[in-house]
Amino acid sequence: MPAAIPTPDADVKLWRNARLVTMASPSVEPIDNGVILTSGERIVFAGAASEAPDGTYEDIDLGGRLVTPALIDCHTHIVHGGNRAREFEMRLEGASYVDIAKAGGGIVSTVRATRALSVEELVEQALPRLDTLLGEGVGTIEIKSGYGLSIEAELNMLRAARELGNRRAVRVVTSYLGAHATPEEYKGRNAAYLDEVVLPGLRAAQAEGLVDAVDGFCEGIAFSPEEMAQVFDVALELELPVKLHAEQLSHLGGTRLATRYGALSADHLEYIDDADAEAMANAGTVAVLLPGAFYAIRETHKPDVAALRRHGVEIAVATDCNPGTSPLTSLLLGMNMAATLFGLTVTECMAGTTRTAAQALGLLDETGTLEAGKSADFTVWNATSVAELTYRIGFNPLHRRIFKGKAT
């Protein structure tokens, strides 16, 4: 249930003259002459002006522009050191992502760059990426660890993620991704890495209040479903929700494992089958599609969107912003890629970066739709229809971003 509807007080604003899309219903048809009545950080009313509560409020004219919930990027690795431009060239020369990872590149090369940085340096390097996403109307962002791969370095990444939420008007939720790859000092010794780093690191991160969910990379070049089950058992003990990078490069059974733990989401999903989609529907696990990674590593096997639709699986879309497989720092372009490459509809892309993205983070009571009692996180666009947000390539129509009732 959303938070109790606050009674209007002095800090009441009437944001009026909007083509309002609340995302509270499946339709993205705007409400003409829509209004949002806010009290402090909360929404009191969102809908047709004719149905708004009477009263005299501070009046803000939105000029007949399209208004939607603030965007939510529900899968990012924006905290990291260095870049992987050289690997980009290697892939252009014909090397595959897996070849590069097996040759000691990939995630572990970002680990060296990340371990070398302090928390403040990690924050400084992530801020330009965060500001770019906020500049496109993002109000909530998920940020993972996973490039430290030692207890202290993983904690530093999560400390940096939390600090980003202090530095900008944005909601940050974190995911512990110690099970992202096995670092060089544990090469070939996954069991020891899990026992000596991943599991104690998770407990330490939780003890410091740094973790909102637990994630992993279930793949041949990373961790097996059995290894991920060890991590998820500790998440269960700590009463933390889970999510999983699954079926990205092959079909290993990660999605099925994630659904057995009631995962908030399973992410990537290029290689899921119909039974995986059914299991996700039964578990209420959101499918997070990451077209930036599919595009950047020139994957050819597309996620089975028809199976997800057939079983009624909620679909979200995110940037997966990371230095290796998805150096994508535009959620609007991510929406366009999801439509153009994966065949999602405009409505699915809009829901996928608002309502279902909130669901993938366990935040639907707080944000993701414009409804009474929720956080007043919304975006005003120089546009008149939702389709305009997805169809352009490399154009940002944002007019204003409102976070917790305040224009940013």
- Applying CB under 5 A, among 73, 227, 320, 348 the residue interacting with Fe ion is 320
For residue 323, the partner it binds in Fe ion, ligand DI6, none, with Cβ less than 5 to 8 A by kind, is ligand DI6
Q: What is the smallest separation between the CB atom of 28 and ligand DI6, expressed in angstroms?
A: 29
371: region left, alpha or beta (phi > 0 left; psi from -120 to 50 alpha): beta
338/389 with CB nearer ligand DI6:
338
107/349 with CB nearer ligand DI6:
107
H or E element: which one contains 190? helix 190-193
Closest residue to ligand DI6, judged by C-beta, is 324
> In the numeric block, which tokens belong to residue 161?
């993620």
Q: Give me the DSSP letters along 241-264.
A: -BEEEESSSS--SHHHHHHHTT-S
Q: Give me the DSSP letters along 28-44.
A: -PPEEEEEEEEETTEEE
299: contact with Fe ion by CB under 5 A? no
For residue 293, the partner it binds in Fe ion, ligand DI6, none, with Cβ less than 5 to 8 A by kind, is ligand DI6
CA 132 from chain center: how many Å?
15
244/344 with CB nearer Fe ion:
244
- Interactions with Fe ion, residue window 119-148 (CB under 5 A): none
User: Cβ(228)–Cβ(179) under 8 Å?
Assistant: yes
Query: For residues 389 and 170, what is the distance between their CA atoms, to the nearest angstrom?
Result: 21
DSSP alpha helices (H): ranges in 261-385? 274-283, 291-296, 305-310, 331-342, 346-352, 355-360
Size of the site for Fe ion (CB under 5 A): 1
H or E element: which one contains 391? helix 387-391
298 by Cβ neighbours in 10 Å (0-12 / 13-18 / 19+) ranks as exposed
For residue 217, the partner it binds in ligand DI6, Fe ion, none, with Cβ less than 5 to 8 A by kind, is ligand DI6
Kindly report the length of the chain. Answer: 408
Stretch that binds Fe ion, among 4-12, 269-277, 319-327, 346-354 (CB under 5 A): 319-327
215: contact with Fe ion by CB under 5 A? no
35/252 with CB nearer ligand DI6:
252
For residue 266, the partner it binds in Fe ion, ligand DI6, none, with Cβ less than 5 to 8 A by kind, is none
Q: Could you list the residues that contact ligand DI6 (CB under 6 A)? A: 106-107, 110, 180, 217, 245, 248, 293, 322-325
Q: What is the smallest separation between the CB atom of 12 and ligand DI6, expressed in angstroms?
A: 44
248/285 with CB nearer ligand DI6:
248
Query: By the criterion CB under 5 A, which residues form the site for Fe ion?
Result: 320
